[in-house]
């Protein structure tokens, strides 16, 4: 299993961190009245959003990690759990990371759209 590089920050910025609920529901329409909803899966992936400030060197390490180790972002990886102990197994969600210049102008703000796997 691939592991988040130790040379990168291990905890995301507090601002912009979001952890949602996975949706394991199945809704079935009825002839009349509201839809019938039941549990489809017992455990579902949780959506996560977080951001890391990175130097130019850290950004280069991150890009190599995504491109080479994760084969273009297609493989899951282990990373330190955010706001709790332990570690998570995650993969990239709908969008790939998007580095933008941070306010300090010497760092990059890299936003990650992740899915925490069961």
pLDDT tens per residue across span 74-107: 999 999 998 889 999 999 999 999 899 988 778 9
- Is domain 2-116 annotated with CATH 1.25.40? no
pTM beyond cutoff 0.75: yes
Q: What is the pLDDT of residues 36-88, one digit of tens each?
A: 776 666 677 889 999 999 999 999 999 999 999 999 999 999 999 988 899 99
Mean pLDDT score, 7-25: 78
Distance, CA of 58 to CA of 66 (rounded, Å): 12
């Amino acid at each position: 299993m691939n592991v988040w590089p130790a040379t990168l920050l291990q905890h995301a910025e507090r601002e912009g961190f979001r952890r949602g609920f996975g949706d394991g529901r199945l809704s079935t329409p009825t002839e009349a009245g509201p839809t019938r909803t039941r549990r489809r899966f017992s455990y579902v992936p949780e959506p996560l959003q977080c951001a890391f400030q990175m130097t130019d060197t850290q950004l280069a390490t991150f890009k190599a990690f995504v491109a080479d180790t994760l084969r273009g972002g297609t493989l899951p990886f282990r990373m330190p759990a955010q706001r709790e102990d332990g570690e998570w197994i995650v993969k990239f969600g709908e969008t790939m990371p998007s580095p933008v210049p941070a306010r300090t102008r010497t760092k990059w703000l890299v936003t990650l759209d992740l899915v925490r796997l069961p």
